[in-house]
């Protein structure tokens, strides 16, 4: 990012600030960038590109684009509010996803990896730093308004933190030709005979991957509802082995909708760069569901910024929940509320809400290799932060990960996690409220 923010980029930050406070024209007209003017709200402007060596820590707060005064965030004197740091640019860099734009750093699946991120460099993956910037600005603006007799009003759209419970429906059968073949190819002799016999036995009905009854029962006991993202069959061995129109999938979706759950699209591996793939799958899924599908999550969290979100916008998707790092739980965009991304190529905000993903089962146990106690502690710490900011906690548990044969004790962990997240009277987040 070279130079200062454009007007549209500053308006992007104003848009998100206005989700928390009223911003009447008399207040918005008080903002000045680059100059210090008496009686105004003045921001230092940093024209540098991001460089970790230039990051300044003011107290415990990392400032990505600092001003000349490295000791203070702002001062307020004789009616003039002077922010000593370029908080607008710092917030924009993190929230908009700029670090991922044209980044050459990719993991084996072509994703922007946690290890290449600012969050990793600065060790802030567990902090919604943009929320911290906003809170500092809001408190200072409140003082400014009081001094100048301007009415100041906070918006309490979310009066308390909320839980967005989600499930990605990838693999629905454990014993199939493909899974048995995979065990044989890997020479997993301990499983080979057992799986082969279960697959070939026409009377064997147990399917440890079909955990939907368990999920519904467990969540109903806690007055929760979830969003289920369904993945259509497409790329062999990478996407699912089922189609939206399969009889048992249609029946499952109808049952879930009847019981108050939300249905979303799980964009396949080709969809991150192909709007026709998104549109076609969305059309088929809409032919199955009762309510029009508005939400998406990318399979394997495959996401190209800003192309994927622009394609979702074009297809008519209104909210997405793909942005979490596979490699680490926390805050990929350093924010704990729904937000919108930015289209750098066209200098505009993309009109799709992102509900950031905080915790995924595979992140905790596959990528990070945590045990159940450490995983629960990590969830607890993130939850405390989100409650403090009255944000949204998004949890992803694949229904097939609840296979006790492969993950002994996983259901107990899942239930403890839900019990933890239901404390503090957290509400159930409804992404359709964003529409």
Is residue 357 within 8 A of residue 321, CB to CB? The reply is: yes
The partner residues of 215 in beta bridges, in order of sequence, read: none
For every residue of 400-422, DSSP letters joined together read: GGG-TTTSTTHHHHHHHHHHHHH
Longest dimension (CA), the chain: 83
Cis amide bond preceding 306, omega within 30: yes
Per DSSP, what are the bridge partners of residue 349? 342
- The yes-or-no verdict on residue 205 having pLDDT over 70 is no
Q: What backbone torsions phi and psi does residue 89 show, to the nearest 5 degrees? A: -70, -40
Q: Rounded to 10 degrees, what is the CA torsion of 405, 408, 411, 413? A: -160
pLDDT of residue 202 exceeding 70, the answer is no
Q: Give the pLDDT of residue 204.
A: 58
Q: Tens digits of per-residue pLDDT, 369-395? A: 999 999 999 999 999 999 999 999 999
Q: Is the pLDDT higher at 269 or at 207?
A: 269
Asked if 339 and 305 count as a contact pair (C-beta separation under 8 A), the reply is: no
| Paired residues of 43 in beta bridges | 33, 83
Residue 183 reports pLDDT greater than 70: no
Element (H, E) at 284: helix 275-286
Residue whose structure tokens are 């993130």: 382
pTM for this structure? 0.94
Confidence bin at 157 (pLDDT 50/70/90): low
**At what angle are helices 177-185 and 189-200 packed, to 10 degrees?**
160
pLDDT at 181: 62
Average pLDDT over residues 301-325: 97
Model pLDDT, residue 185: 67
Identify the pLDDT of residue 223.
95
More confident residue, 321 or 202: 321
Report how far apart, in Å, the C-alpha atoms of 25 and of each of 30, 78, 83, 138, 358 are. 8, 22, 20, 16, 35
167 CB-side CA count, 13 A: 27
Banded pLDDT at 191 (limits 50, 70, 90): low
Contact 317, 282 (CB under 8 A): yes
Hunting for tokens 């919108």 — which residue is that? Answer: 340
Mean pLDDT of the chain: 93
What's the pLDDT score for residue 392? Answer: 97
DSSP state of 363: I
Provide the 8-state DSSP code for 235.
S
DSSP H or E run through 58: strand 56-58
Segment 93-108, tens digit of pLDDT: 999 999 999 899 999 9
Q: How many CA atoms lie within 13 A of 336 on its CB side?
A: 32
In DSSP notation, 21-42 reads B---HHHHTTEEESS--TTSEE
d(CA 307, CA 322): 13
- Our CA dihedral for 357, 358, 362, 368, rounded to 10 degrees, sits at 140
d(Cα 353, Cα 167) in Å, to the nearest integer?
19
- pLDDT tens-place string over residues 112-141: 999 999 999 999 999 999 999 999 999 999
Question: DSSP H helical segments within 186-228, as ranges?
Answer: 189-200, 212-220
Q: Which domains are seen in the chain, by residue range?
A: 7-148 (no CATH), 162-172+210-434 (3.20.20.370), 173-206 (no CATH)
- Min mean pLDDT across 69-78, 136-145, 180-189, 380-389 is at 180-189
- Mean pLDDT of all residues in 22-51: 95
pLDDT at 174: 72
Is the pLDDT at 89 greater than 70? The verdict is yes
């Amino acid at each position: 990012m070279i130079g200062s923010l454009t007007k549209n980029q500053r308006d992007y930050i104003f848009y998100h600030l206005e989700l928390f406070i009223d911003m009447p024209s008399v207040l918005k007209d008080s903002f000045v960038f680059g100059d210090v003017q008496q009686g105004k709200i003045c921001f230092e402007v940093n024209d540098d590109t991001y460089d970790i060596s230039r990051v300044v820590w003011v107290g415990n707060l990392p400032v990505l684009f600092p001003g000349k005064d490295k000791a203070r965030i702002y001062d307020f004197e004789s009616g003039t509010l002077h922010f000593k740091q370029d908080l607008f640019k710092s917030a924009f860099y993190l929230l908009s996803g700029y670090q991922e734009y044209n980044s050459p750093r990719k993991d084996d699946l072509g994703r922007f990896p946690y290890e290449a991120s600012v969050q990793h460099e600065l060790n802030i993956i567990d902090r919604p730093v943009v929320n911290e910037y906003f809170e500092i600005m809001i408190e200072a603006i409140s003082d400014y308004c009081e001094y100048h007799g301007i009415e100041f009003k906070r918006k309490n759209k979310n009066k308390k933190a909320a839980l967005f419970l989600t499930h990605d429906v990838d693999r629905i059968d454990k014993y199939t030709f493909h899974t048995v073949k995979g065990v044989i190819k890997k020479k997993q002799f301990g499983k080979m005979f057992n799986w082969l016999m279960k697959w070939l036995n026409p009377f064997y009905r147990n399917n440890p991957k079909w955990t939907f009854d368990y999920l519904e029962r467990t969540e109903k006991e806690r007055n929760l509802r979830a969003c289920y993202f369904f993945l259509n069959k497409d790329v062999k061995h990478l996407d699912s082995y089922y189609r939206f129109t399969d009889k048992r999938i249609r029946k499952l979706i109808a049952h879930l909708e009847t019981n108050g759950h939300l249905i979303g699209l799980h964009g396949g591996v080709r969809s991150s760069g192909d709007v026709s793939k998104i549109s076609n799958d969305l059309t088929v899924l809409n032919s199955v569901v009762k309510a029009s599908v508005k939400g998406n999550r990318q399979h394997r969290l495959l996401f190209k910024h800003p192309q994927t979100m622009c394609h979702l916008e074009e297809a008519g998707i209104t909210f997405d929940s793909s942005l979490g790092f596979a490699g680490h739980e926390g805050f990929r965009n350093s924010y704990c509320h729904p937000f919108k991304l930015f289209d750098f190529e066209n200098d505009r905000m993309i009109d799709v809400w992102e509900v950031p993903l905080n915790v995924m089962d595979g992140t905790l146990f596959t990528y990070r290799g945590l045990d159940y106690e450490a995983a629960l502690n990590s969830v607890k710490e993130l939850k405390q932060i989100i409650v403090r900011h009255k944000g949204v906690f998004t949890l992803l548990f694949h229904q097939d990960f609840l296979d006790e044969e492969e993950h002994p004790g996983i259901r107990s962990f899942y239930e403890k996690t839900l019990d933890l997240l239901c404390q503090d009277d957290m509400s159930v987040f409804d992404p359709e409220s964003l529409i």
